[in-house]
Amino acid sequence: MKSTYKRWLIWLGLLISAFFLYIAFREIRFDELWLTLTQVRFWWLVPGLAIYFGAVLMRSWRWGYLLKPLKPIPLTTMFPIVAIGYMGNDVFPLRMGEILRAVVLKRREGISISASLATIVVERIFDAVVVVGFVLLNLGQLIGLSSGSFAQLGGVAAWVAGIFLVGLAIFILVAMYPHPAHRLIHGIIQRILPERLRTPVAKIADQFLDGLMQLRSPKHTLVVFMGTFMIWILETGLYWCVNQALGLGLNFSQLMLLNGLVNLVLLIPAAPGGLGTFDAAGRTLLEAFGIASEPALGFTLVLRVALWLPITLLGAFFFIREGLKWTLDIQEIEAQAVVDQPIGVKGESDES
């Protein structure tokens, strides 16, 4: 049943990607697109990729910071694991890269998958808050340049921001008041679950709560937020370098808006790497800034390659070095977490 459901999700993602690829390439003059690509000053990608990998390093530091109450882990360990996660999200369906890095972390450091996934959820909430902030801070430029169809984006973005802020507030409250949260969660488990499931689910819930420990301090929460803001500023730096490579003349705030809106569109389930959704969103939004279709799509394609290829190849290298199996079976992926446990770490089972 689960296998059939997963296959349907994968096929749905492929169909969504095909639809958005059609939108991305619709009415494109391919001779003009080719001319655009041949005129790209690719040397601008060198500083752009350096800046982008700075963002990956910042992500590695942030994850290590969130995990610090559980176990201090050096950046040299975190960076390869984060690269594996990028590769997983770019190659495997259903954002399996998040599970992959939780599995590798358990193999390397013995931290439970449930606790790791809790910190990953926190990361994603902080990312969403900053990305929506990029949109809200710069949306006025797009509204001024485009038709009224974009004017409603402000309201949509505000609703999305509100949802993620509520989620973040809940996580912070749970982290700040762990004992009441523990009693509440265990009470719900006792009431709604059959007896055979209570113990394993309670264990997963406790491990998940452990992963939120760094949010108990407002200071630590602020540090994570500022780190997240820097991550997205650095990533926008790659957008700026691609903009320079094509000579489009966009300013940094426009590129912040582009980065934010494209990543909101990437919430739509699609094939790995946001195939189609990324391309259609990039072209559409650049056209709203008054850029012709072929340079707009050319920018999006160059940016896609810069965002996808180097980190995916690096992540694949670390993945192979780790000795993991290429599989779409989540249970098989999680089973690999018990292999090569560090000396002195208990090989407890993880039901997540």
C-beta separation of 258 from 282 below 8 A: yes
Q: pLDDT tens for the chain, 352 residues: list them.
A: 556 767 787 888 889 999 999 999 999 999 999 999 999 999 999 999 999 999 999 999 999 999 998 899 999 999 999 999 999 999 988 788 898 999 999 988 999 888 898 899 889 888 988 888 888 887 777 665 554 445 555 555 566 667 777 877 887 787 788 788 888 888 888 888 887 777 877 877 777 777 777 788 888 889 999 999 999 999 999 999 999 999 999 999 999 999 998 998 888 888 888 899 999 999 988 998 889 999 999 999 999 999 999 999 999 999 999 888 777 666 676 677 665 444 334 444 444 3
C-beta separation of 54 from 79 below 8 A: no
Residue type, 234: L
In angstroms, the CA 292 to CA 290 distance is 6
Range 125-129 contact pairs with CB under 8 angstroms and sequence separation of 24 or more: 125/164, 125/167, 125/168, 125/171, 126/168, 126/224, 126/225, 126/228, 127/228, 127/231, 127/232, 127/263, 128/160, 128/164, 129/161, 129/164, 129/165, 129/168, 129/225, 129/228
* CB contact set of 149 (below 8 Å; sequence gap of 6+): none
C-beta separation of 138 from 253 below 8 A: yes
Report the predicted TM-score, pTM, of the whole model to 2 decimal places. 0.85
The distance in angstroms from the start CA to the end CA of the chain is 18
Distances from the Cα of 253 to the Cα of 133, 140, 257, 275, angstroms: 12, 11, 6, 25
Q: Around Cβ 304, how many Cβ atoms within 10 Å?
A: 17
C-beta separation of 61 from 323 below 8 A: no
Query: How wide is the angle at C-alpha 250 spanned by C-alphas 244 and 252, nearest 5°?
Result: 90
Write down the domain spans for the chain.
13-338
